[in-house]
Amino acid sequence: MSIHPQFAERILRGEKQVEFRRRPLGRLVTHIVIYATAPVCAVVGVAEIQRVERGSPTVLWHAFSSVGGIERAKFFGYFAGVLEGFAYVLERAQACESPLRLGKVGLPTRAPQAFQYIETRTLDAVLSKASPAAGTMAVAG
């Protein structure tokens, strides 16, 4: 999943325990492989998906603002014009020992626009290059 570097860092530090999206993933997934966008342009970690919540932006904000790792104005700007959004509640974030460039360990060669599905063996390869992140993630409300 493509995530801006400042938000990727917050996830790995345990400060951002929810990834907000305007659209749902089309499949049931267990992990988010965190691809930090420019200027990093690399996979920096992995987090498990504990659950997915669906609701209006206002409902999501009330439920997750304290662990969303985003300012109110940016949150509502992101969800402008959307009646419903999705909150991917994360746990057990793991940072890669060093950023993984695309094309390595089975990763795609092109950055995902928003997200891209990967094979289980690629997830396993990324996990083998990661260790528990510094922050402890408590499961959000």
pLDDT tens column, 13-58: 999 999 999 999 888 899 999 999 999 999 999 999 999 999 999 9
Please determine, for residue 136, whether its predicted confidence score (pLDDT) is greater than 80. Answer: no
Check residue 116 and give its pLDDT: 83
Please determine, for residue 139, whether its predicted confidence score (pLDDT) is greater than 70. Answer: no
Please determine, for residue 112, whether its predicted confidence score (pLDDT) is greater than 50. Answer: yes
Rounded to two decimals, the pTM is: 0.85
pLDDT level of residue 134 (50, 70, 90 thresholds):
low
- Torsions phi, psi for 51 (to 5 deg): -170, 170
Higher pLDDT, 118 or 86: 86
Q: What is the pLDDT of residues 55-83, one digit of tens each?
A: 999 999 999 999 999 999 999 999 999 99
Alpha-helix residue ranges (DSSP H) falling in the chain:
5-13, 57-64, 72-78, 120-128
Torsion angle, alpha carbons of 74, 139, 5, 84, to 10: -40
Check residue 63 and give its pLDDT: 98
**Chain-centroid distance, C-alpha 127:** 15
